[in-house]
Amino acid sequence: MMGIGLLIVVITLVGGAVLSAQSSINGTISRSIGLLETVFFTFASGALVLAVLINFFGSGHLLDLLHAPKLQLSAVFLGFGYLFLSTFSVNMIGVTPANLTAIVGQIVAGFVIDAIGLFGTEVIHFSWQRGVSLVLMLAALLLIFSEKQDNPAAQL
């Protein structure tokens, strides 16, 4: 039987694959309908799906958003920013470089958030293991981008 830790890893990997597919699809559709229109369509259709899910499975606390700290509510702009920038960058540099760059950005931000306990998170100090992982991810970025430089067919 699969342990809960392995299940969480598998679910997270599937989520990452879905996010990559979304980036690719959004990049493609944005070439037809426009960047802002694609981001709008993604958020609007997502809102409709979530409205149905909230109606049937929600906890009934949606109006508590009115009492949430404003900083927490500003996360909506971060989500918009991520979707906008990922859709834009996929068309400029391709799915893999765009997603890998976003992941490295997420990891760096995560290291900073952990190290200083931003947003009320538990402080997790930067370790040599995290440093090595960061160097390896930066090396992966360098290799991915150097491949695009070496292969004229891969350049946009």
Amino acid, single-letter form, for residue 49 = V
pLDDT of residue 154 exceeding 80, the answer is no
Structural contact between residues 10 and 4, judged by C-beta atoms closer than 8 angstroms: no
Q: What is the pLDDT of residue 1?
A: 56
Rounded CA separation 148/95 (Å) = 12
Q: What is the pLDDT of residue 151?
A: 61
pLDDT of residue 34 exceeding 70, the answer is yes
Rounded CA separation 65/46 (Å) = 18
If you ran DSSP here, which 8-state letter would residue 60 be given?
Answer: S
Greater pLDDT, 154 or 96: 96
Percent of the chain with pLDDT over 90: 70
Mean pLDDT of 124-150: 91
**Measured distance between the N- and C-terminal CA atoms of the chain, rounded to whole angstroms:** 46
Structural contact between residues 100 and 141, judged by C-beta atoms closer than 8 angstroms: yes
Q: What is the pLDDT of residue 120?
A: 84
Greater pLDDT, 141 or 60: 141
pLDDT band at 3 (very low <50, low <70, confident <90, very high): confident
User: For 49-103, what is each residue's pLDDT tens digit?
Assistant: 999 999 999 998 999 988 988 888 888 889 899 999 999 999 999 999 999 999 9
Q: What is the pLDDT of residue 156?
A: 47
Q: What is the pLDDT of residue 73?
A: 86
Query: Following DSSP, what letter does each residue of 94-151 receive, concatenated?
Result: -HHHHHHHHHHHHHHHHHHHHHHTGGGPPP----HHHHHHHHHHHHHHHHHHHHHHH-
In three-state secondary structure terms, 34 is coil
pTM for the model? 0.78
* pLDDT, the chain, mean: 90
pLDDT of residue 155 exceeding 80, the answer is no
